Amino acid sequence: MFPPIPNASVAGEASRPRFSERDLVRRSASEVALPTTRLTEIAKLIDVTKCIGCKACQSACLEWNNLHEDIGYNHGVYDNPMDLTPNTFTLMRFTEWDNPESGHLEWLIRKDGCMHCADPGCLKACPSPGAIVQYSNGIVDFFHENCIGCGYCIKGCPFNIPRISKTDHTAYKCTLCSDRIAVGQGPACQKACPTQAIVFGTKDEMKAWAEFRIKDLKSRGFEHAGLYDPPGVGGTHVMYVLHHADKPSLYAGLPDDPSISRVVKVWKGVTKYFGMALMGAAALAGLAHYAVAGPNKVTEEDEDSAGSLATGRDLQPPRGHA
Amino acid sequence: MTAPREHGAPADIQSGDAVSGTHPVQVHRYKAAARINHWITAASLILLAVSGMSLFTPNLFFLTGLFSGGQWTRTIHPWIGLVLFFSFSLLFVRFWRANLPVQADRTWLAKIGDVLRNRDDDLPELGKYNAGQKFVFWSMSALILVLISTGIVIWDQYFSPFTTIEVKRLAVLAHALAAIFAICVWIIHVYAAIWVKGTFSAMTHGVVTGGWAWRHHRKWLRELVVKVDGSKAAEIPHPHSATGPSSSPRRPS
Ligand code: HEM
Ligand code: SF4
Ligand code: SF4
Ligand code: SF4
């Protein structure tokens, strides 16, 4: 068993936040001065092989974050609601898979939610300064007072995570319980999980624990068991242990090799420079032309010719008419 | 909207175009409705460019202040886009016929060096619009079509369920690129009006001087003079008009 995180201390000192704005490594649409000391990277490890699908984590998330989901419909499946929403930051997704090798019907249950990418596409796409931040401990957090509700984060995210609220028109997703972690607690979902399918600690601890779990799984015949910490987004601070790490997409479409879309990189990269340069060049060309060629002025003769034409005394043959 | 035109009138004469006075000659180029239509289009294009650019690059995010903040900028931009689209569509109906390319545009473009050096003597006589103006017209038409279609795809508040994220990514990129080109075309358009003196009054008062029309759009001026006095029709040369009567370029005074 992974040693549980002790309950919060009641000592005054304990409520002092462990990290703050001084620990930002990225801030949307802004430059940040990198902090001199970096926090230890933390991570949440979701061991899909231990999950029993009880949804205690999903409920704990609603409860801790004071979120309320409308009463929905039963669609005949266990997924409820059917997708992430501005209130559902985490969602259990159920997949039935007929394993052709073993002949077993496997029930794959994945806890979906923000992966807290080391290279977050949401933050890259966001146009509003300070609406999305990344702390040196790896947490990617949204600041609602700076969010303008444009939905660019949705286009940037390789995991289809953020959702815009129809009430306050700002984007929502899992915060990794940044408010709990700031005071030395683990995320609410982790605390609620009855099987330790969710564990929380430093990223190194989580990798070591995952290795132990994977060894165990392999010894039980899951030869492709492995850790999901996708390098395409620089690794994540929410990782999965998968029985079939060679086929992540089995798990309700978890991307096999996620990375920030090339289209998003072009949009947020070369397009900005190209655009500013082209518009600047157009304006400069105008100025330069005016300086060199000068204005094109109507002359007195032009006015006279027009007068003659109008009064029918035009003797000039039309130009270009040989 | 183009008023019904007399049968056989040249394509570049729009409703309200007319010559009046003799010395100085005044040429009516845009009637009030066309000018209002133009300025609504212009105002919405500028507001769209400013609000859009504020989201395009963090350096210009402060421009959202003009729309009382980022949330309002995000909200209002697509609505102004709709105004632009409908307003421009009206302009399109008004102007498209006069913007059809003709043979003289080719000659004019071949002599673009002379145009840029203000050497107007050797240029062909032109109808209501030159090839540069036609370029602005058609490229804006195409770009606004791209902007409205991609803009609706990325208008998440109402249209997010209808397209996939991959399509939205392409749409936002296309929208940004089309916006850049539209702003460049707009810069060219405004610069041309500053460079070619006497142009602004066409859109402020609806009137240009006869000299301006003679210098830049002589074929159009000739057509209008004919229109004023139908009896001259047979006498005034129409060198480039397919529909105009052909006659000797020289006529007795
Ligand atoms: C014609 C109808 C148009 C519609 C429906 C439309 C809609 C949108 C929408 C929905 C956005 C995303 C931000 C937001 O939600 O407000 C956007 C962004 C933008 N729009 Fe438009 N727009 C239109 C026309 C224009 C025009 C004419 C321009 C400029 C000349 C323009 C320039 C921009 C720019 C620069 C962005 C930011 C793109 C980026 O962040 O890279 N738009 N537009
Ligand atoms: S919706 Fe909010 S968080 Fe998402 S990109 Fe726009 S401003 Fe940033
Ligand atoms: S999973 Fe999506 S929302 Fe979460 S940090 Fe990565 S890019 Fe951002
Ligand atoms: S609380 Fe644990 S066991 Fe229950 S659904 Fe969540 S991850 Fe699975």
Structure tokens at B9: 């009138």
Q: Which atom of ligand 4 is nearest to the CA of A53?
A: 5
Determine whether B252 is exposed, middle or buried from the number of CB atoms within 10 Å of its CB (0-12, 13-18, 19+). Answer: exposed
CB contact under 8 A, A169 and B116: no
A29 lies within 8 A of chain B by CB: yes
Kindly give the interhelix angle for B70-95 and B131-153, rounded to the nearest 10 degrees.
140
Q: Does the C-beta of A258 come closer than 6 Å to ligand 3?
A: no
Q: What is the pLDDT of residue B252?
A: 40
Nearest CA in chain A to B218: A318
From A258's Cα to the closest Cα of chain B, the distance in A is: 14
CB contact under 8 A, B120 and A294: no
Q: Does the C-beta of A173 come closer than 6 Å to ligand 3?
A: yes
- Averaged pLDDT, B27-46: 97
Per residue in A243-302, pLDDT (tens digit) is 999 999 999 999 999 999 999 999 999 999 999 999 999 999 999 999 999 999 999 999
- Averaged pLDDT, B12-33: 89
Question: Tell me, what amino acid is at A42?
Answer: I
Q: Which residues of chain A have pLDDT under 50?
A: 321-322
Band (pLDDT 50/70/90 cuts) for residue B106 is very high
Q: Which residues pair with B28 in a beta bridge?
A: B18, B207
Is B189 catalytic? The answer is yes
Per residue in A16-51, pLDDT (tens digit) is 888 999 999 999 999 999 999 999 999 999 999 999
A121 contacts A261 by C-beta, under 8 angstroms: yes
CB contact under 8 A, A302 and B19: no
Contacts of A278 in chain B (CB under 8 A): 180-181, 184
A128 lies within 8 A of chain B by CB: yes
pLDDT surpassing 50 at residue B4: no
Domains along the sequence of chain A with CATH: 17-268 (3.30.70.20), 270-310 (no CATH)
| Given B38, B77, B175, B189, the catalytic residue | B189
Q: What is the pLDDT of residue B250?
A: 40
For ligand 4, mutation pick of A198, A213, A251 (most atoms within 8 Å of CB): A198
Could you tell me where the beta strands, DSSP code E, fall in B24-152?
26-28
Angstrom distance (rounded) from CA B160 to CA B145? 20
Look at residues A159, A127, A123, A148 and name the one whose alpha carbon lies nearest to residue A138: A123
CB contact under 8 A, A294 and B118: yes
Radius of gyration for the alpha carbons in chain A, expressed in angstroms and rounded: 29
A72 contacts A80 by C-beta, under 8 angstroms: yes
Per residue in B154-173, pLDDT (tens digit) is 999 999 999 999 999 999 99
Question: Tell me, what amino acid is at B2?
Answer: T
Angstrom distance (rounded) from CA B105 to CA B12? 13
Q: Does the C-beta of A135 come closer than 6 Å to ligand 3?
A: no
B208 contacts B219 by C-beta, under 8 angstroms: no
pLDDT surpassing 60 at residue B239: no
Of all protein residues, whose CA lies closest to atom 7 belonging to ligand 2? Answer: A147
Residues 6+ apart with CB under 8 A from B191: A286, A289, A290
- Within 6 A (CB) of ligand 2 lie A 28, 125-126, 128, 131-132, 142, 147-153, 162, 164, 170-171
Q: Does the C-beta of A121 come closer than 6 Å to ligand 3?
A: yes
Residues 6+ apart with CB under 8 A from B32: B206
Structure tokens at B107: 């000659």
Contacts of B225 in chain A (CB under 8 A): 309-310
- Tell me: cis bond preceding A81? Omega within 30 of 0 counts: yes
A163 contacts A172 by C-beta, under 8 angstroms: yes
Q: What is the pLDDT of residue B251?
A: 39
Q: Does the C-beta of B168 come closer than 6 Å to ligand 1?
A: no
Of A129, A276, A309, the CB nearest to B222: A309
C-alpha to C-alpha distances, A100 to A246, B1, B251, nearest whole angstrom: 15, 68, 94
- Tell me: cis bond preceding B24? Omega within 30 of 0 counts: yes
Q: pTM here?
A: 0.92
pLDDT surpassing 90 at residue B149: yes
Q: What is the pLDDT of residue B243?
A: 40
pLDDT surpassing 60 at residue B242: no
Element holding A287 (H helix, E strand): helix A270-293
Contacts of A317 in chain B (CB under 8 A): 237, 249-250
Q: What is the pLDDT of residue B108?
A: 97
Angstrom distance (rounded) from CA A87 to CA A69? 6
Q: Which atom of ligand 1 is nearest to the CA of B77?
A: 16
